[in-house]
Amino acid sequence: MILIVDDKPENRISLRKFLEKSNFEVDEAGSGEEALKKIYNNLYSLIILDVQMPGMDGFEVAETILGYSKAADTPILFLSAVNIDKEFITRGYRAGGVDYITKPFDPDILLLKVKTFNRLFEQTHELKEIKEKLTGEIEQRKVLEKKKDEFISIASHELRTPLTSMRGYIQLLERMLAKEKNEAIKTYIGKAGYQINKLNELVDDLLDISRIDSGKLEFKWKAFSLSDMLKQTVENISQMHRDYNIELKGDTDIELIGDELRLEQVVVNFLTNAIKYSPNNKEIFVKTTLSKDQVKVSVTDYGIGISPELQTKLFEKFFRVEENAVRFQGLGIGLFICADIIHRHRGTCGVESEPGKGSTFFFKIPRDQPSVS
Ligand code: ADP
């Protein structure tokens, strides 16, 4: 709606008729004071202000409007019998436009200006509404995200307690059945134990995720032998996957400062992925390369590989390659945790891969770490 402010009723009436003919909604005020009251209570898309009025003149009204946040975006068009000092009209007006037209005015020019200002106001208004809506949605998403993180944290803690006791009972049963002749019972208990271990690993990963999200993933820094850790890890994984041939290559006798268990977790993750994603080729290499101030550990498989455009996303939380998601089970959190662990060691994770040929996942970390306790 457009507000016409003019002390002369005949001027208001003719302007009103003219604008209404062009389908604009119009309101009127006969003085500066009345205009201010109306502007305070209503939202106008344009204010057409007569400059010469008894009492408050058009400029004073415009100055006062500046203080109203509600009318800050409303453009003002001055109507004046004399030329307005341009300095005045460019002074201090923030968002909405401001312009003037001298009387007697050319109706076509007036209409053009009214239409332009009206459109400007509508667009500004629409943008404002979109911005408010988006801000609201972002806030809502943040709240939901926080609730989801809290849920993961609580759920994984809750899952852990019954899992730990089940694990204990299975271990007890395994010991009791050591001399058992019935092989089927032994096999089933062994399988149940294996599945419980897998569940336990999943819960551990979920717990790590919520610790990373809340910045509470703790590290224990100390000097250790990377070579011994790798040897032991390769041995353990090889025992669990006897059909795979995992070979350790490269520099030996590497001492490192870092969190041994966490780095082992990264290697285990790379290795179990290498096994999982190469069902048809059972060769895997673990390689260490030592340079002056950093060490690189890489795990190479000859499995399904990953296309180049997806490689940058692999270390993101919950990312899984969609086309393989049904064939291979997983949650898409292992590599995210690896990247965080390596990042905390001031290092980087990376991947080189070709679809159908295989992948090399690696991490590089500096040999000295700042925080040793
Ligand atoms: P998960 O294996 O549980 O889905 P990860 O975070 O460990 O989660 O891996 C993320 C994704 O990266 C996997 O879903 C898989 O698509 C891809 N990926 C990881 N390692 C390999 C690999 N060695 N070969 C092919 N794809 C892999």
Convert the pLDDT of each residue in 262-301 to its tens digit. 999 999 999 999 999 999 999 999 999 999 889 999 999 9
Q: What are the backbone dihedrals phi and psi of residue 346, each rounded to the nearest 5 degrees, phi first?
A: 60, 30
Whether ligand 1 lies within 6 angstroms of the CB of 332 is answered as: yes
Q: Which atom of ligand 1 is nearest to the CA of 305?
A: 25
Mutate to test the pocket of ligand 1, among 277, 326, 359 (most ligand atoms within 8 A of CB): 277
Written in H, E and C, the secondary structure of 73-104 is: CCCEEEEECCCCCHHHHHCCCCCCCEEEEECC
Q: How far is the CA of 338 from the centre of ligand 1 (A)?
A: 12
Q: Name the DSSP letter for residue 325.
A: T
Whether ligand 1 lies within 6 angstroms of the CB of 306 is answered as: yes
Whether ligand 1 lies within 6 angstroms of the CB of 339 is answered as: no
Q: pLDDT exceeding 90 applies to what percent of the chain?
A: 60
Q: How far is the CA of 78 from the centre of ligand 1 (A)?
A: 67
Q: How confident is the model at residue 99 (pLDDT cuts 50, 70, 90)?
A: confident
Instruction: Render pLDDT for 333-355 as a digit per residue (tens, 0 to 9).
Output: 999 999 999 999 999 999 999 99
pLDDT of residue 373: 45
The average pLDDT across 307-317 equals 94
Residue 119: CA count within 13 A, CB half-sphere: 5
CA distance 42 to 27: 10
pLDDT of residue 84: 62
Whether ligand 1 lies within 6 angstroms of the CB of 203 is answered as: no
Q: Give yes or no for a contact between 76 and 88, defined as CB atoms under 8 angstroms apart.
A: no
Q: Which atom of ligand 1 is nearest to the CA of 358?
A: 24
Give me the DSSP letters along 160-214.
Answer: HHHHHHHHHHHHHHHHHTTT---HHHHHHHHHHHHHHHHHHHHHHHHHHHHHHHT
Residue bearing tokens 């970390």: 365
For 281, the 3-state DSSP assignment is coil
Structure tokens at 210: 């919520």
Whether ligand 1 lies within 6 angstroms of the CB of 39 is answered as: no
Would residue 114 be called left, alpha or beta, if left means φ above 0 and alpha means ψ between -120 and 50 degrees? alpha
More confident residue, 38 or 325: 38
* For residue 70, pLDDT beyond 80: no
Whether ligand 1 lies within 6 angstroms of the CB of 331 is answered as: yes
Q: Are strands 358-366 and 348-354 parallel, antiparallel or unpaired?
A: antiparallel
Q: Helix 32-41 crosses helix 58-66 at what angle (to 10 degrees)?
A: 30
Q: Which atom of ligand 1 is nearest to the CA of 274?
A: 23
Whether ligand 1 lies within 6 angstroms of the CB of 330 is answered as: yes
Q: Is 109 exposed, middle or buried (0-12, 13-18, 19+ CB in 10 A)?
A: exposed
Whether ligand 1 lies within 6 angstroms of the CB of 319 is answered as: yes
Whether ligand 1 lies within 6 angstroms of the CB of 304 is answered as: yes
Structure tokens at 48: 């057409």
pLDDT of residue 94: 42
CA distance 205 to 217: 11
